[in-house]
C-alpha cells in the first residue's frame, strides 16, 4: 500500500559528524554501514591492565599467608587416608599425598578470586563426608601452586581431577552439579 511510504525524506540530527555522510546531515545507508576507507587511520588500540577483580582480595591473601606460615612451623606426618574433610595440597606434598595414595583422590583446582570455585567448595565438602574412607578430597590453589597446575594442563578453573592408584582417571572442567560429580566419582570407587 503506497500510503504508508513517506512522501519526502528528512535529514537526521547527528550528535557528531560522519565523514562519509553526504551534504547537510543526510546519511546514505550504504555509507553508514561501509567499512572505513583506507585513507582514515584505524581506531587507536588500548591495552588494558588486568582487572582488579582477578586479583585476590587482601583479606583472603593474608589468611592464605597465615595458613602457610602455620603449616611450615608445624611438623607434619602425611598419611594417605581418606578423610571426611577437604584438605589442601601443595607442590611439595603432591607426589606423596596424591600420587602415592591407594584410595581414589579427588583434586579440585581453584583460586580465591574465582566465584564458581567457591560454589564448588560445599559440594566437594559434602562428597568428602559422604565418601569418607573411600575417597580423599583435596584442593590446589592455582595461584600458589602454578607448577602443579601447568603439569596437568589446567587452563580454566574450577577443574576437578580424579586419581586412582597414582593415575589420572577423569577430568571435569567447570562448575558441576553435586549429583553429576557423585556419579563421576562412583565410576572409580
- pLDDT tens, per residue, the chain with 189 residues: 555 555 555 555 555 444 544 545 444 444 444 455 556 666 566 554 444 445 555 656 666 666 666 655 544 444 455 556 788 999 999 988 898 888 899 999 999 999 999 999 999 999 999 998 899 999 999 999 999 999 999 999 999 999 998 899 999 999 999 999 999 999 988
Delimit the domains of the chain by residue range. Answer: 80-186
Report whether 176 contacts 159 (CB < 8 A). Answer: no
pTM of the model: 0.56
Under CATH, which number does the domain 80-186 receive?
A: 3.40.30.10
What positions carry a catalytic annotation? 114, 117
Residue 101 has a pLDDT of: 86
Amino acid at each position: 500500500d503506497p500510503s504508508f511510504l513517506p512522501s519526502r525524506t528528512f535529514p537526521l540530527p547527528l550528535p557528531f559528524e560522519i565523514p562519509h555522510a553526504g551534504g547537510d546531515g543526510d546519511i546514505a545507508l550504504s555509507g553508514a554501514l561501509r567499512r572505513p576507507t583506507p585513507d582514515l587511520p584505524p581506531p587507536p588500540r588500548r591495552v588494558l591492565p588486568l582487572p582488579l577483580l582477578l586479583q585476590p582480595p587482601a583479606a583472603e591473601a593474608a589468611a592464605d599467608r597465615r595458613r602457610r606460615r602455620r603449616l611450615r612451623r608445624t611438623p607434619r606426618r602425611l598419611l594417605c587416608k581418606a578423610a571426611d574433610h577437604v584438605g589442601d595440597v601443595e607442590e611439595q606434598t603432591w607426589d606423596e599425598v596424591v600420587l602415592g595414595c591407594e584410595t581414589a583422590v579427588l583434586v579440585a583446582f581453584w583460586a580465591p578470586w574465582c566465584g564458581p570455585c567457591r560454589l564448588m567448595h560445599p559440594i566437594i565438602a559434602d562428597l568428602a563426608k559422604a565418601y569418607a574412607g573411600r575417597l580423599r578430597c583435596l584442593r590446589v590453589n592455582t595461584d600458589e601452586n602454578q607448577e602443579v597446575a601447568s603439569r596437568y594442563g589446567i587452563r580454566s578453573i574450577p577443574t576437578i581431577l580424579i586419581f586412582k592408584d597414582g593415575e589420572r582417571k577423569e577430568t571435569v572442567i567447570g562448575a558441576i552439579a553435586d549429583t553429576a560429580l557423585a556419579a563421576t566419582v562412583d565410576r572409580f570407587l
